[in-house]
Amino acid sequence: MVQQRRIAICFALFLVLFTNIPSAFTQNIDGRRVGYLRWSDNGNYIAGYYRRNVILWNGSTGQHIKTIPLTLSEPPFTNYGVIVIDMDWHPNNKYLAITGTPEGSLIGFILILDVETETILDTFTYSDGSNTKGIPDLSWNHNGSKLAFALNNGNILDGDDSLIILNSDGSLHLEVKNPQMEGISTVSFSPDSNAIVTGGHVDNIARVWNSNTGDLLFSLPGTVEGQPEAQWSPRGDYIATTDLIEVDIWNAVTGNLLYTIPSEIGTDGVIGLLDIEWNYNGNYLAILQDDYFISIRDGSWQEISEIDSLGTYYWSPLDNRIVTTNASSSIITIQTAAASPTTSVTSLALINADTDVSIQTLTSGSTLNLGTLPTRNLNIRADASGSPAKVVFMLNDKIYREDTTAPFTLAEEFIHFAAGNYTLTAIPYDANNVSGVPLTIMVAVF
């Protein structure tokens, strides 16, 4: 059962040398890797972990703010340092939830750190009395009222791993413990906080749960070696998972597989796909590869750029900049990973293809009765802002048409819809082939 205790933390501050650059910042720290870079939700801070310290930088300038050593002072771990495993910013942009272990111990705990006052608000440790519990991942929900995390026994396959969700006061909101949870290593809330996706399970299946009842909503099967990462898109329309040899994009409502991004063959064999992160508005997906590059994918899942990285990176919450450590020079860099979108699909309209007259505006959840429509010869028009050069239409998970002439339509002349459920996505592109803000709807035809 969950066991809570408070631990006093000793703090000291010391300076780390930075060189400020207009579009980037650089830090040389004995050529070592800085881990778990995290941008605060308002963009004010970047937090990192290095040698058992939490380091804060200014999110705009890269200027070093403070370095906070984490040293335990309560027996039996007096003067033990903290090895950080993961951390996540609270939406109030002051608190960091940090999961880690004391040096030389496997006991997992969570610290809630106020970075401005440098005080610990709460500490939670987890043990069942015989086995220590590791906490490999954690996630705040959209308003900070819930904190979810994975709790497991490492390599002990005893069916005792679980998903835990705490309330903001530290009380237990929900614990989901069953054999399907075995091996859980990643958690991600939906944007509305009503669901949560978990990954890393030993049966190679990511799962989506109701975050209020713990009921299983649907499963997302992987290929091999589990799914070490599963992430909900900020818009709530997609879930991305990786199982090392491919990244899968899923419909977050139905659980249907939409697209697969396979690994490539490099000079040393298959390039592993280790980690995934959506940008702030879900228009781009970053994929960390084991060849020390990050592949940036657009809304149609095509690669638009690659970034050199040692393995630690995070998107800005405000734009398409990304902070990363560099493999070749061991520096921290902020750089633009993708151009900011200038186009947006604002609405989708059902068109009478015989007359080119609009029948109705389509929204997600619209229903079409073929018996009451004026014709079976239909089309769908994408209305967009920002003067796109083209619009790519995806129908039921596949690219259906690319239209380069306004008005942008799903079909060149017309389409005959059969009864059934349809998912339609329209993605605008500007003259430089930069994808804009897409629009996805689900329509039922009967």
Q: Which residues pair with 220 in a beta bridge?
A: 206
The model's confidence at residue 379, banded by pLDDT at 50, 70 and 90, is very high
d(Cα 139, Cα 209) in Å, to the nearest integer? 14
d(Cα 232, Cα 118) in Å, to the nearest integer? 31
- Residue 313's pLDDT is 86
Average pLDDT over residues 387-416: 91
Say which CATH number the domain at 127 has: 2.130.10.10
Higher-scoring residue by pLDDT: 10, 229: 229
Residues 120 and 90 in one domain: yes
* Confidence check: pLDDT of 89 > 60: yes
Question: 236-249: per-residue pLDDT in tens?
Answer: 989 999 887 889 99
Phi, psi dihedral angles at 421 (to 5 degrees)? -105, 135
Long-range contacts of 287-296 (CB under 8 A, 24+ apart): 287/242, 287/247, 287/261, 288/313, 289/263, 291/266, 292/327, 294/322, 294/324, 294/337, 296/337, 296/338
Say which CATH number the domain at 424 has: 2.60.40.10
* Confidence check: pLDDT of 25 > 60: no
Of the candidates 305, 336, 367, which is a domain's last residue?
Answer: 336
Please list, in sequence order, all residues whose beta carbon lies within 8 angstroms of the beta carbon of residue 244, skipping any fewer than 6 positions away: 224, 225, 228, 263, 272, 273, 274
Residues 58 and 167 in one domain: yes
pTM above 0.85, yes or no: no
Residues 149 and 10 in one domain: yes
Residues 330 and 349 in one domain: no
Least confident of 26-40, 250-264, 326-340: 26-40
Residues 305 and 348 in one domain: no
* Confidence check: pLDDT of 20 > 80: no
Least confident of 75-84, 336-345, 372-381: 75-84
Question: 306-332: per-residue pLDDT in tens?
Answer: 888 766 789 999 888 888 876 555 567
Residues 325 and 188 in one domain: yes
* Confidence check: pLDDT of 26 > 80: no
Residues 329 and 357 in one domain: no
Residues 298 and 420 in one domain: no
- Residue 11's pLDDT is 26
Pairing label, strands 366-368, 439-445: parallel
Of the candidates 275, 301, 336, which is a domain's last residue?
Answer: 336
Question: 359-378: per-residue pLDDT in tens?
Answer: 999 998 899 999 999 999 99
* SS3 call for 179: helix
The model's confidence at residue 339, banded by pLDDT at 50, 70 and 90, is confident
Most confidently modeled of 105-114, 126-135, 208-217, 291-300?
Answer: 208-217
- Residue 241's pLDDT is 93
The model's confidence at residue 33, banded by pLDDT at 50, 70 and 90, is low
* Residue 413, CA distances (Å) to 248, 352, 394 in order: 33, 10, 17
- In eight-state DSSP terms, residue 437 is B
Residues 7 and 30 in one domain: yes
Higher-scoring residue by pLDDT: 340, 313: 313
* Overall size of the chain counted in residues: 446
Please list, in sequence order, all residues whose beta carbon lies within 8 angstroms of the beta carbon of residue 158, skipping any fewer than 6 positions away: 131
Looking at the structure of the chain, the number of domains it has is 2
Percent of the residues in the chain that have a pLDDT greater than 70, as a whole number: 83
Please list, in sequence order, all residues whose beta carbon lies within 8 angstroms of the beta carbon of residue 269, skipping any fewer than 6 positions away: none
Long-range contacts of 213-222 (CB under 8 A, 24+ apart): 213/174, 214/163, 214/174, 214/175, 214/176, 216/180, 217/255, 218/254, 218/255, 219/255, 220/248, 220/250, 220/255, 220/257, 222/248
Residues 301 and 352 in one domain: no
Residues 320 and 378 in one domain: no
The range of the structural domain enclosing residue 387 comes to 344-445
* Residue 91, CA distances (Å) to 21, 181, 430 in order: 28, 27, 33
- Residue 164's pLDDT is 93
Residues 353 and 379 in one domain: yes
* SS3 call for 232: strand
- The residue type found at 195 is A
- Residue 4's pLDDT is 39
Contact 300, 392 (CB under 8 A): yes
- Residue 390's pLDDT is 94
**Mean predicted lDDT score pLDDT of the chain:** 82
Q: Which residues pair with 89 in a beta bridge?
A: 96
Of the candidates 312, 336, 360, which is a domain's last residue?
Answer: 336
Higher-scoring residue by pLDDT: 230, 13: 230
Peptide bond between residue 407 and the one before it cis (omega within 30 degrees of 0): yes
